[in-house]
């Protein structure tokens, strides 16, 4: 069945076909090239913009607070969050509620509360920062002993600490250690044995890693200071668990314990973050290093010693042959032939000594810039004075 065709449409179709055939090969190759979006001109088109590509995405090192302002802001935000959690904890403890089970999540002293989850999140962020630091320190060329591996141990310790802060698994660990030690559940000191057991294990393991970490972050003073503060706060929290701190009431004791633990978490994560910033700046060549310009400056030796030595060496070669001639003359009567035969030898010795001293002095002229009588002389004047000194020595020898 034939359809009607409009003359204008046929003419337009023929004109478009003629234009396509008249296009050069370069235009066709340009049209056949793949589009910037990822597909060809005739194929499917990418549904996302080029910002989704790998080179335009955020890297892991972008999470490190490089600018000092952002580092300080992050630490202050963490401290503010701790203060807010403690304020809510105090408000919940002071309220007279019929059922305390509804506000357990807001009680910082309870397991599984907001405070516990916040501490776990802080330590989990410390795990990420430790892995970032490990990835950068891995490529340091002068680390022959492989000290960068301490960051793997640090990441593992922080991961366990995050789990413990959220779930309180240290109590189960203390129970198992007390049972292995032979403690009975009915004994009155069983709870104390559990507490001492897990504190001793944590102090041994985490203390060893902390000492090794302090050696690693020694070059970064802010990181070392934060690590020292965190270790001190953990020590105070351990004393609070053992009831070795002064008692001031249930509310004050709970606030002091929870605040100390949370601030210790903040200090530990801050130490890892500050050292990650230090390592990143060092790897990118943006770390400011103080160089003392006077340290490598060489101290020049005084020229007085060289002047004295040279002044002595000028006259020694000329006086030695004269002394030898005087000894030969005073040794006794000699035959005329022998004396005549010895005279040329003495003259040859004097000439040889004078030539050697001249060569020695010419070499010293190029090396040192000496002066006679405390005044600086030109090279021609020095040579003239040395010639006069040699002639004087020859006259004395004759």
What pLDDT does residue 5 have?
Answer: 53
Stretch (H or E) spanning 177: helix 170-180
Give whichever of 219-228, 295-304, 359-368, 374-383 has the largest mean pLDDT.
219-228
Convert the pLDDT of each residue in 66-119 to its tens digit: 899 999 999 999 999 999 999 999 988 888 665 567 788 888 888 889 999 999
375 three-state secondary structure: strand
Q: Which residues pair with 375 in a beta bridge?
A: 372
* DSSP codes, 66-84: -SHHHHHHHHHHHHHHHHH
Give the percent of the chain with pLDDT over 90: 38
pLDDT computed for residue 23 by the predictor: 58
Contact 276, 133 (CB under 8 A): yes
The model carries a pTM of 0.62
Of 119, 332, 125, residue with least CA distance to 234: 119
Collapse the DSSP code of 372 into the 3-class scheme (helix H, G, I; strand E, B; otherwise coil) and give the result: strand
**What per-residue confidence (pLDDT) applies to 14?**
72
For residues 233 and 263, what is the distance between their CA atoms, to the nearest angstrom? 7
Residue for token pair 């070795």 = 244
The pLDDT, as a whole number, for residue 382 is 81
Residue 221 reports pLDDT greater than 90: yes
Place of tokens 């807001």: 106
pLDDT at 375 over 70: no
- The more confidently predicted of residues 14 and 274 is 274
Nearest 10 degrees: CA dihedral of 279, 282, 286, 291? 130
Determine how many CB atoms are found less than 10 A away from the CB of residue 285.
6
Mean pLDDT of 55-67: 83
Residue 23, C-beta contacts closer than 8 angstroms, at least 6 positions apart: none
d(CA 389, CA 334): 32
pLDDT tens by residue, 259-309? 999 999 999 999 999 999 999 999 998 887 665 566 555 555 554 444 444
């Amino acid at each position: 069945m034939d359809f009607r065709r409009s003359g204008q449409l046929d003419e337009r179709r023929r004109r478009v076909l003629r234009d396509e055939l008249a296009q050069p090969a370069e235009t066709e190759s340009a049209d056949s090239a793949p589009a910037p979006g990822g597909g060809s001109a005739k194929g499917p088109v990418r549904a996302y913009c080029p910002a989704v590509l790998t080179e335009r995405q955020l890297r892991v090192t972008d999470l490190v607070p490089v600018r000092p302002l952002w580092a300080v802001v992050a630490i202050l935000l963490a401290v503010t969050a701790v203060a807010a959690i403690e304020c809510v904890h105090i408000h919940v403890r002071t309220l007279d509620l019929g059922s305390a089970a509804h506000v357990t999540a807001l009680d910082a002293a309870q397991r599984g509360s907001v405070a516990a989850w916040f501490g776990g999140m802080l330590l989990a962020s410390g795990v990420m920062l430790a892995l970032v630091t490990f990835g950068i320190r891995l490529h340091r060329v002068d680390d022959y002993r492989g000290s960068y591996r301490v960051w793997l141990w640090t990441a593992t310790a922080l991961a366990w600490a995050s789990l413990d802060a959220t779930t309180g698994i240290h109590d189960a660990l203390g129970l198992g250690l007390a049972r292995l030690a032979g403690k009975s559940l009915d004994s009155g000191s069983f709870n104390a044995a559990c507490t001492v057991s897990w504190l001793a294990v944590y102090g041994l393991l985490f203390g060893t890693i902390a000492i090794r970490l302090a050696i690693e972050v020694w070059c970064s003073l802010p990181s070392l200071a934060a690590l020292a503060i965190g270790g001190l706060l953990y020590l105070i929290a351990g004393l609070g668990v053992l009831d070795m701190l002064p008692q001031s009431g249930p509310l004050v004791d709970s606030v002091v314990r929870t605040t100390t633990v949370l601030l210790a978490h903040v200090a530990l994560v801050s130490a890892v973050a500050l050292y990650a910033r230090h390592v990143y700046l060092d790897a990118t060549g943006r770390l400011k290093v103080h160089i003392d310009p006077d340290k490598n400056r060489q101290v020049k030796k005084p020229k007085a010693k060289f002047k004295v030595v040279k002044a002595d060496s000028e006259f020694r070669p000329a006086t030695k042959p004269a002394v030898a001639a005087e000894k030969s003359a005073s040794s006794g009567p000699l035959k005329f032939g022998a004396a005549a035969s010895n005279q040329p030898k003495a003259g040859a010795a004097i000439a040889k000594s004078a030539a050697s001293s001249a060569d020695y002095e010419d070499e010293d002229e190029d090396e040192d810039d000496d002066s006679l009588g405390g005044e600086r002389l030109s090279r021609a004047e020095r040579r003239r004075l040395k010639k006069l000194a040699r002639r004087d020595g020859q006259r004395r020898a004759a």
